[in-house]
A and B are shown apart, each in its own frame.
Chain A
Amino acid sequence: MERAPASDKSRLASRLAWIGAAAWLLAVAGGFAILWKYKSTPGSGGAVPPQRWPAGSTVARSPDRATLLLFAHPRCTCTRASLAELARILARFHDRLDARVLFWTPREAPAGWDRGDLWTSAARIPGVTVLRDAEGAEASRFGVATSGGVVLYDARGRLLFHGGITAARGHEGDSFGQERIALLLTTGAADRADAPVFGCALEQEPPVRVARAGAPTTIQGEQR
Chain B
Amino acid sequence: MSVARKALEMTQAAAEAIVQRAEGRYEAHRQEIFRATDRMFAGLMIGQWIFAIFIALTFSPYGWQGKVKTVHMHVWVALILGAVITSLPVALAWLRPGELLTRHAIAAGQMLWSALLIHLTGGRIETHFHVFGSLAFLAFYRDWPVLITGTVVIATEHLIRGIVWPESVYGIPNPEWWRFLEHAFWVVFCISILIPSCRRGLKDMRVMAERGAELEALSENQWRNSSVVERAAADPRGDR
Chain B 62-84 near chain A by CB (<8 Å), digits 1 or 0: 11111111001110010011001
Q: Which residues of B sit under 8 angstroms from A109, Cβ to Cβ?
A: 67
Nearest CB on A from B90, distance (A): 11
Chain A 155-189 per-residue mask, 1 if CB under 8 angstroms from chain B, else 0: 00000000000011011111110110000000000
Which of A45-53, A58-66, A73-81, A215-223 touches B?
A73-81
> B88 and A24: CB pair below 8 A?
yes
Given A28-B112, A77-B59, A202-B66, A171 and B172 touching (CB < 8 A)?
no
Q: Is A25 located at the chain interface by the 8 A CB criterion?
A: yes
**Contact at A173–B123, with CB atoms within 8 Å?**
yes
Check B170 against A36 for contact (C-beta < 8 Å): no
Asked if residues B171 and A21 are in contact (CB atoms below 8 Å), the reply is: no
A173/B171 in contact, CB under 8 A: yes
Interface residues of B in 113-134 (CB under 8 A from A): 115-116, 119, 122-125
B182 to chain A, nearest CB (A): 13
Check: B231 CB closer than 8 A to any chain A CB. no
Asked if B226 lies at the interface with its beta carbon under 8 angstroms from chain A, I say no
Docked CA distance A84–B123 (Å): 11
A200 and B64 contact, CB distance less than 8 A: yes
Q: Are A31 and B84 in contact (CB under 8 A)?
A: yes
Known: A20-B88, A36-B165, A171-B122. A75 touches B62 (CB 8 A): yes
B16 CB-CB contact with A under 8 Å? no
* CA gap between A75 and B59 in the complex, in Å: 11
- The CA-CA distance from A14 to B119 in the complex, in Å, is 33
> Do A172 and B124 contact each other (CB < 8 Å), given the known contacts A77-B62, A179-B171, A201-B64?
yes
Return A33 CB to nearest CB of chain B, in Å: 9
A174–B59 CA distance with the chains assembled, in angstroms:
22
Shortest Cβ gap from B55 to chain A (Å): 11
Minimum CB–CB distance from B166 to chain A (whole Å) comes to 9
Residues of B within 8 A of A179 (CB): 171-172
Given contacts A28-B84, A31-B84, whether A81 and B123 have CB atoms under 8 Å apart is yes
Contacts A14-B101, A24-B105, A173-B168 known; 20 new A-B pairs at CB < 8 A: A17-B101, A31-B81, A32-B112, A32-B157, A36-B164, A39-B119, A76-B63, A77-B63, A80-B59, A81-B123, A84-B122, A109-B67, A170-B60, A170-B122, A172-B122, A172-B123, A174-B170, A174-B171, A204-B65, A204-B68
Q: Which 10 A-B pairs have the closest CB atoms?
A: A174-B171, A31-B81, A204-B66, A77-B60, A171-B123, A200-B64, A24-B88, A167-B167, A201-B65, A203-B66
